[in-house]
Amino acid sequence: MTFDTIIRGGEICTTTLRTRADIGIREGRIAAIDDRLTGAETVIDATGHIVLPGGIETHAHIAQESAAGVMNADDYFSGSVSAAFGGNSSFVPFAAQQRGQSVGSVLDTYGQRAARSVIDYSWHLIISDPTPEVLTSGLPMAFERGVTSFKVFMTYDLVKVDDRQFLDILTTAGAHGAVTMVHAENDAMVRWMNEKLAKEGKTAPRYHAESRPALAEEEAIHRAVSLAKLAGAPLFVVHVSTPGGAAIIAREKAAGTEVFAETCPHYLAFTAEDLDRPGMEGAKFICSPPLRDAAIQKVLWENIAAGTFDCVSSDHAPYRFDETGKFINGAQAPYPAIANGMPGIGMRLPWLFSEGVVAGRISLQTFAGLSATNAARVFGLDTKGNLAPGLDADIAIWDPEARWHVTLEDQHDNMDYTPFEGMEISGRPVTVLNRGLPVIRDRVLCAAEGQGRFIARKPLARAT
Ligand SMILES: [Zn+2]
């Protein structure tokens, strides 16, 4: 046999290619892309389907204590299964340092947690305590182990770093070609708003949006970019939710600054009005930065189409609608005490395909870039994110004609709600391969627990 598997008759689509051809897979890698390949043990018929690079999710909180210390609902099994049903063949969740914890201990902890993953994985290392020890030996050691991206928070008491610490982290990261991600919101502005709203008795979920104004994000993005430029280090701004923030990214990119950014489906699918659903239902839509309005959605879509955003990421942060998650501080907790985050790792790509490609807002080529190729480039997954001989056979086969309504059961995560419940979606992934092995086939899970492997990532390919 020439190949282990042939994917036959699909329409292959990458950022640079759109053609009908077969893909031959041997020993986990793509061995050939050509017309009419023959000689394989397994043939997957992809007639009428679209064959894309397997999705790479680069913003997900899995088996991680939140910035407020609450454990996520998903472990690496349920989280990776949900990701696979959503068209992903690898993901890069976070490994979060608790203050006082060594980097080695963080990576060992997450190594144990991730052993259950059904798809390949790596981590971005969240740094909350940049001691001299962490800066001089912890971060270089992480880098040597293939963890080539770090993340800092400019807000949240338990994890935030100040500007001076941020500069130190950027400098160390930049020296090693590591990308620093940032959650950019002005901490003092948010705390000031929380106090003001509390005095006025405004503590229902809907005030969450008001408490984190666009100005808080725009100011912090501007500051983060300025710090990165001073340090001469690359920066990745996560979950951009404002036109002002997107404008800063677009301007800096045009000027040649090494800045990357993402936005998330929930800013485009929902608005602050969802926080005002009856009772405590609005708590399901509490995330930070908060949901905004329909006007920003139009601007974010324009920026997606224009290339301002390298990724559209789920920011999957699953907290159940009960006392283990959203209401860990009580069923009627004021909004600042409700767990922050929305689930969506299984919806990122189907939603983006439906609302982006099918609705005519972005091309299939742009979709391939946003779902996998750009993430592979920025975060150093050099064997993934594209379809070409020699690369890992990480492949997602989509049925572009499927019409379906979102249900919780379809998410395959550990959640008790999905904010996307009931939405009508066009197109869905049917089969996902990771290193040539089917993770899901015809929408049935066939991967064994622990089938995923750790990805030792490369540094960012610098322009200079
Ligand atoms: Zn997040």
Listed residue (187, 193, 206) closest to 285, CA to CA: 206
pLDDT of residue 68: 74
CA of 175 to the centre of ligand 1 (A): 25
CA of 197 to the centre of ligand 1 (A): 25
- Give ∠ CA 397-87-113 in degrees, rounded to 5: 140
Q: For the chain, give percent helix, strand, coil, nearest 5.
A: 35, 25, 45
pLDDT tens digits, one per residue of 362-415: 999 999 999 999 999 999 999 999 999 999 999 999 999 999 999 999 999 999
* pLDDT mean over 98-112: 97
The amino acid occupying position 152 is V
Residues linked to residue 32 through DSSP beta bridges, in sequence order: 24
* pLDDT mean over 3-20: 97
CA of 314 to the centre of ligand 1 (A): 8
CA of 7 to the centre of ligand 1 (A): 35
pLDDT tens digits, one per residue of 124-160: 999 999 999 999 999 999 999 999 999 999 999 999 9
Residue bearing tokens 């292959």: 12
Helices (H) and strands (E) counted in the chain, each on its own, are: 14, 19
Q: How far is CA 368 from CA 52, 224, 236, 320, 395, in A?
A: 7, 28, 19, 31, 11
pTM of the shown model: 0.97
CA of 399 to the centre of ligand 1 (A): 29
| 409 vs 429: CA distance, rounded Å | 16
Q: What are phi and psi of 299, to 5 degrees?
A: -70, -40
CA of 49 to the centre of ligand 1 (A): 32
- Reported in sequence order, the residue ranges of 309-348 that DSSP labels E, i.e. its strands, are 311-312
**Residues contacting 296, CB < 8 A, separation 6+:** 214, 241, 242, 243, 267
| 354 vs 267: CA distance, rounded Å | 16
